[in-house]
Amino acid sequence: MSESTRLNAVRAVTNFNLADRKSKIKDADVKEIFASNVFSDEVQRARLPEAIYKSLQKTIKKGEPLDPNVADVVATAMKEWALEKGATHYTHWFQPMTGLTAEKHDSFVMPTATGKIIMEFGGGELIRGEPDASSFPSGGIRATFEARGYTAWDPSSPAFILDSPNGSTLCIPTAFCSWTGEALDKKTPLLRSIDALSAQAVRILKLFGSSASRVESTCGPEQEYFLIDRNFYFARLDLLNAGRTLFGAKPPKGQEMEDHYFGSIPERVLAFMQEVEHELYKLGVPVKTRHNEVAPAQYEIAPVFEQANVATDHNMLVMETMKRVAQRYGMELILHEKPFAGVNGSGKHVNWSMSDDLGNNLLKPGATPHDNAQFLVFMTAVIRAVHKYSKLLRLAIASASNDHRLGANEAPPAIISVFLGDMLQDIVEQIEKGGAKSTKTGGEMKIGASVLPTLPKDAGDRNRTSPFAFTGNKFEFRAVGSSQSIAGPILVLNAIVAESLDYIATELEKTGKKGEDLNPEIQKLLQKIITEHKAVIFNGDGYSEAWHAEAAKRGLPNRKTAVESLPDFISPESIELFGKYGIFTEREIHARYEILLEGYKKAINIEAQLTAQIAKKQIIPACLRYQTQIAASVAALKGAGVEVPASQLGLLNDLTSTIATLQERVEKLTKVSDHHADGDSLAHATYSRDVVIPAMLSVREAADKLEIMVADDFWPLPTYQEMLFIK
């Protein structure tokens, strides 16, 4: 018998030599390299005529439409800059509904009449590209109109240069739309939601006498991930094709020793992190924090927050850069929400706030009664939004892979609630009672008359079980999956908060009052809003059974799986909300709904096929070989006239019957996954969830049992123990 791929993998891992990747990055000057590959504000200022620079800044900072005359000049400056940096090609970089990024490279090369070439790049090429859209998910939008889509320059996210070993490419962040103007990507609706939020937030600021003219949502995503040796990865077809393990018995040691979180970072991993940071610094991504996470082989990277659109592009770059760099260190980056059963999965804490163009964080409690009043209005708007539209927030994080996490006693539950912390909770209660005396602060909270006590900043860390927590000066949406684009969750937040701010602004504007006189009106309105929406506030243990019962009593929805959640997208209230603020047309919503359901079904289908394939081609053959060996040993004893011990016969019997069970279950799985449910996409997804997933789990159960029975040198798949602990 040839040696198992698994044992070969183990040996190859221990041969990895870190010294081979001694890096030149060690002596790099971080200040020097930061944003060195970005067509940044500084570069623009230095290279563009002043009038052009100013016009471009208006588009970037104020969201004003781009002056077409500007594009040609910018393109020329951008080209010269990129050529100096060694770029030979440019690409429109966009984020189709695959959840990944897409790029098609064109060179600057243009042949001349004399048989030579010149390097060319004009405003036309900068502003618009025409990738063939027919191979990207469109949910039916494209099919009925035009196959072609176009990419449109997004000046609010800076262009950058990606270096690769044999050259460099100028990447231009773009939105991706159909010819009829429908969004086919993640960026377009995000940009629309930022504008919607800005318009409504500015109305509120105006009531408080502010001169701000633009509000941005800000975001800092904390990204969790796993790293395992590539030798293991290639020996696990499930990881390779589905991003998660579909088999694997629980190892003797998991995460119960609690010895990994914030533990010392393994040398190879640290070297990887340092190279990742180096690459990201060049791209102007302000990565700041790195540490071990709770599960073995799990880590986190977090940047300093940025404007939401840039933060979204940067998070895509973080994921892609990590993927690339990991391979240089003989490791594979795993972004799936639940790559290993039995240990923690990975999420992405999306820290979110709003900031005006005067530099104020609108969720930062102020030091004066006036600032407090404004803070409490924005805070209350968020509470109302999350309560009123909790189904849409749940929907923004719905996927087959995130279903493994939500509600699985490690990540926040699928019930969306808001955590405020003791102090803010107390303040909210006082507002509700109309300014009653507080037991906690001794004071009385009257809007416009009193100063808030200083709120503790670390409130959120005391409650990791809440999906949506206020953490001092921002909210932290913790239920987002590690592999998801943050565009969706942010756009939903922006949209629902815009609607709340709209409501509040309209109510307050109606009173016709201003300045000090407005305070009693605010007091009354916030009191009403809190009374109506306080049901969403929950400061207790989100994992407990008691909370599930309590949440149901409060009427909070509990969409346990993506299949239950996705239909909320096409609900009248969703269509009304997104339509009202120009974020999605009804057609776009229906298209995306189809794409999401389709994605769910395909993910389960791939997993089902892989489960059957691995069981049939790897696990069962190994088990049969082992069975033959035991049978031979039993026969040998018999032949030698030695009584065969019952324990050995028992082993053989157990093995034989478990193999038979596994075979039966594989057959059943094949049958159910070949069957096509009648009905629409929702019926298909429901069938996948209710029939295919259980069939898959039952195959796994029998196979995992065999993993424990079969001799180590026969077992074909790298084990959990090996993948998680050999570093």
Residues at the site binding ligand ADP, with contacts judged by CB under 6 A? 218-220, 222, 302-305, 351-353, 361, 461, 471, 473-474
Q: Which of 77, 86, 41 is nearest to 59 (CA)?
A: 41
- Comparing CB distances to Mg ion, the nearer of 185 and 300 is 300
Closer of 385 and 723 to ligand ADP (Cβ): 385
By CB under 5 A, residue 387 contacts Mg ion: no
Query: Toward ligand ADP, which CB reaches closer, 160 or 475?
Result: 475
By C-beta, is 475 or 584 nearer to Mg ion? 475
Identity (one letter) of the amino acid at 167? G
For residue 389, the partner it binds in ligand ADP, Mg ion, none, with Cβ less than 5 to 8 A by kind, is none
Closer residue to Mg ion in complex, CB, 349/384: 349
Q: Is 89 in the site for Mg ion (CB under 5 A)?
A: no
Strand 167-178 relative to strand 87-94, pairing: parallel
Taking the complex as a whole, the smallest distance from the CB of residue 473 to ligand ADP amounts, in Å, to: 5
Q: How far apart are CB 312 and Mg ion at their closest, in Å?
A: 18
Q: How far is the CB of 472 from ligand ADP (least distance, A)?
A: 7
Q: What is the 3-state secondary structure (H, E, C) of 492-510?
A: HHHHHHHHHHHHHHHHHHH
Residue in the structure block whose two tokens are 């990201």:
280
Sequence-separated contacts (24+) of 429-432 with Cβ below 8 Å: 431/376, 431/380, 431/523, 431/526, 431/527, 431/530, 432/527, 432/530, 432/531, 432/534
Q: Please, is 674 exposed, middle or buried when counting C-beta atoms within 10 Å of its C-beta (0-12, 13-18, 19+)?
A: exposed
State the binding partner of 700 from ligand ADP, Mg ion, none, CB within 5 to 8 A by kind. none
Please choose which of ligand ADP, Mg ion, none residue 665 contacts, taking the beta carbon within 5 to 8 angstroms, the exact cut-off set by kind: none
Specify the residue, 302 or 376, whose C-beta has the smaller distance to Mg ion.
Answer: 302
To ligand ADP, the closest distance from the beta carbon of 425 in angstroms equals 19
Beta carbon nearer to ligand ADP, 88 or 361:
361
Residues 499/580, Cβ–Cβ less than 8 Å: yes
Minimum gap (Å) between residue 118 Cβ and ligand ADP: 44
220 or 488: whose CB is closer to ligand ADP?
A: 220
By beta-carbon proximity to ligand ADP, the closer residue of 52 and 205 is: 205
* CA angle 179–180–186, rounded 5-degree value: 80
Nearest approach, Cβ of residue 606 and ligand ADP (Å): 33
Within 10 angstroms of residue 164's Cβ, the number of other Cβ atoms is 8
Residue 220 touches which of Mg ion, ligand ADP, none (CB < 5 to 8 A by kind)?
Answer: ligand ADP
The b/e string for 533-572 (b: 16+ C-beta within 10 A; e otherwise) is: bbebbbbeebbeeebbebbeebebeebebbbbbbbbbeee
Q: Which is nearer to ligand ADP, 138 or 539 (CB)?
A: 539
Minimum distance of ligand ADP from residue 577's CB (angstroms): 23
| Smallest separation (angstroms) from ligand ADP to the CB of 382 | 13
Sequence-distant (≥ 6) Cβ neighbours of residue 54 within 8 angstroms:
none
CB nearer to ligand ADP: give 61 or 364. Answer: 364
Given Mg ion, ligand ADP, none, residue 302, with its beta carbon under 5 to 8 Å by kind, binds ligand ADP
Q: Residue 569 and residue 164: Cα distance in Å, rounded?
A: 40
For residue 473, the partner it binds in ligand ADP, Mg ion, none, with Cβ less than 5 to 8 A by kind, is: ligand ADP
**If you ran DSSP here, which 8-state letter would residue 724 be given?**
H
Query: What minimum distance in Å lies between the beta carbon of 219 and Mg ion?
Result: 13
* 350 three-class SS: strand
d(C-alpha 227, C-alpha 299), whole Å: 8
Please report, as residue ranges, which positions from 342 to 371 form the binding site for Mg ion (by CB under 5 A). 349
| Min dist. Cβ of residue 461 to ligand ADP (A) | 6
Question: β-pairing, 348-356 with 298-303?
Answer: unpaired
**Shortest approach of ligand ADP to residue 363 CB, angstroms?**
7
How far is CA 661 from each of CA 83, 104, 627, 702, rounded to the nearest angstrom? 63, 49, 14, 7
Contacts of 524 (CB under 8 A, 6+ apart): none
User: Total residues contacting Mg ion (rule CB under 5 A)?
Assistant: 1
For 71, the token pair is: 């594009």
**First vs last C-alpha separation in the chain:** 28
- Closer residue to ligand ADP (CB): 242 or 386: 386
**Residue 296 backbone dihedrals phi, psi, to 5 degrees:** -65, 140
Q: What is the closest distance, in whole angstroms, from the C-beta atom of residue 395 to Mg ion in the complex?
A: 23
Question: Do residues 366 and 210 touch, judged by C-beta distance below 8 A?
Answer: no
Shortest Å distance, C-beta 476 to Mg ion: 5
Q: Helix, strand or coil for residue 558?
A: strand
CB nearest ligand ADP: which residue? 220
Tell me how far apart the alpha carbons of residues 445 and 173 are, in angstroms, rounded to a whole number. Answer: 47
Write the CB contacts of 17 (distance below 8 Å, at least 6 apart in sequence).
none
- DSSP H/E element including 527: helix 518-533
Q: Which does 305 bind (CB under 5 to 8 A by kind): ligand ADP, Mg ion, none?
A: ligand ADP
By the 8 A CB rule, do 73 and 56 touch?
no
The entry of ligand ADP, Mg ion, none near residue 353 (CB within 5 to 8 angstroms by kind) is ligand ADP
- Of residues 305 and 593, the one with the C-beta less far from ligand ADP: 305
Q: How many CA atoms lie within 13 A of 351 on its CB side?
A: 19
Q: What is the sign, positive or negative, of the torsion defined by CA atoms of 442, 446, 449, 453?
A: positive
Q: Which two tokens stand for residue 547?
A: 């909370």
Q: For residues 349 and 404, which CB has a smaller minimum distance to Mg ion in the complex?
A: 349
Shortest Å distance, C-beta 119 to ligand ADP: 39
Binder of residue 182, out of Mg ion, ligand ADP, none (CB less than 5 to 8 A by kind): none
DSSP 354: E
Closest approach of ligand ADP to the CB of residue 423, in Å: 16
Residue number, 285 or 612, with CB nearest to ligand ADP = 285
By beta-carbon distance, which residue lies closest to Mg ion?
349
17: closest CA among 216, 326, 263, 268?
268
Q: Are 358 and 474 in contact (CB under 8 A)?
A: no
| Sites of contact with Mg ion (CB under 5 A) | 349
